[in-house]
Structure 1
């Protein structure tokens, strides 16, 4: 099994055309999706817990990318009033780990991995339902493709911003090749920098 869960194949393939990095992040936030904040602590905990459950490395970039996707699909679920039952989540969760009961139980034994897997599963169900499918169509590529297109349209107004240390969220995915020094400065940071510069100038002795 790869370091990415099977069900993430559909979710990670979404090209979302979100709003880029317009909003900026708060101190301690790894990303902000709409009004949902994902903390650096959330990313670290998820990376460590999922690595333990999978028995292989699941790095912070992968964790952040999937947490952002989960948050986006959670917002789409709410906006579109899509119903996902506990039974559907459970079925999709087992599919996400390749129907490997031992791995599934490892995820269930820890609250961090259990909640994460449930979010991944819910995101997969939302995607396939937007494509006109049902829980039985999780492996139906046609339904998933229709769902991806529907998610792209439904999420076009959801703003995503990522802390510079992690890169930038571009065209529906995390670009870790972008240096923090090249990231777009947020409005809040620009305002603080300007205020500090103005204060320093006023403090200088007048000639």
Structure 2
């Protein structure tokens, strides 16, 4: 084998290896949709959460006598990623600050929404409850942190908006020091927010592909999707 041929084969092998790592998602955490510090959220967990969000949206529309909405599965997955990322960032923030959300308050919120949750198909209820619980716990942690911070600054009666803003600021400051990875297929991470992209590793060229790359492609675009890409 000549040196030139050997070098060419090595180069091709490196290109293939790089492509495999990209397709796998997070290069150092194959199969992970999100990694926050030492905690990983798998693609399967995201898919399950997305299915629960789809089921909740559809059941809510049907309960109000509205036609079944056409939803892109991609959008549901991105929403699930953002919710799960927020919950994990806030959970770790709460642990660092010694804040434990009241499980009594979380249970009360679940009870208040029991009718809507029970309307979701049985196979998605547990996943929706997990998302709902994570969201409620996050809100309680943010509120407690924000209220304590504002009180220490002399604001004895902050508004709910002030409390949320301050708690979120503190959480985001904490999160800025964490190692966070998001599978690029779900979007780009900036300041704790996942901005949707095309959902593909390729560059959209056609008009329809460009529409699909938008954060809100619109109902006409969604209606043209195959059934496998809808909720």
Is 1:52 paired with 2:55? yes
Indicate which of 137, 141, 144 corresponds to 1:122. Answer: 137
Offset of 1:152 from its aligned partner? 1.9
Q: Report the counterpart of residue 81 of structure 2 in structure 1.
A: 64
Which structure exhibits the higher relative contact order, with contacts defined as CA atoms closer than 8 Å and separated by 6 or more residues? 1
Offset of residue 46 of structure 1: 0.3
Deviation at 1:106, TM superposition (A): 4.3
How far apart are the structure 1 equivalents of 2:121 and 2:100? 23
TM-score, length basis structure 2: 0.57
Deviation for aligned residue 1:124:
0.5
Structure 1 residues 120, 37: CA separation in 2 closer, same or farther (over 3 Å shift)?
same
- In structure 1, the gaps of 5 or more residues are 1-22, 183-207
Between Structure 1 and Structure 2, the one with more helix by share is 2
2:104 corresponding residue in structure 1: 87
Compute the displacement of 1:24 (Å): 4.8
Of 95, 116, 127, the match for 1:103: 116
In the TM superposition, what is the alpha-carbon distance from 1:155 to its structure 2 partner? 2.1
Q: Does 1:140 align with 2:157?
A: no
Contact 1:167/1:180 (CA < 8 Å) preserved in 2? no
Q: Compare 102-111 and 56-65 and name the one that shifted more.
A: 102-111
Secondary structure of 2:181's match?
strand
Counterpart CA distance in 2 for 1:104 and 1:145 is 29
1:90 Cα shift? 2.7
Offset of 1:181 from its aligned partner?
6.0
For structure 2, list consecutive stretches of 5 or more residues without a partner in the other structure: 1-25, 59-68, 149-156, 204-231
Q: CA RMSD in A?
A: 2.8
SS in 1 for 2:189: strand
Residues 185 and 197, structure 2, Cα contact 8 Å, conserved in 1: no
Alpha-carbon deviation of 1:166? Answer: 1.6
TM-score, structure 1 as length reference: 0.64
Count residues in correspondence.
152
Paired residue secondary structure (1:177) = coil
Change (3 A) 1:180 1:91: farther
Q: How far apart are 1:154 and its partner, in Å?
A: 2.4
User: 1:1-207 counterparts in 2 under 5 A?
Assistant: 24-55=27-58, 57=71, 59-93=76-110, 101-106=114-119, 110-132=125-147, 140-177=160-197, 180=201
Per-residue CA shift, 1:58-77, capped at 9, x if unaligned? 61111111111111011111
| Residue 158 (structure 1) shift | 1.5
Larger radius of gyration: 2
**Alpha carbons 1:84, 1:122 under 8 Å: kept:** yes
Provide the C-alpha distance between the structure 2 equivalents of 1:89 and 1:108, rounded to a whole number of angstroms. Answer: 22
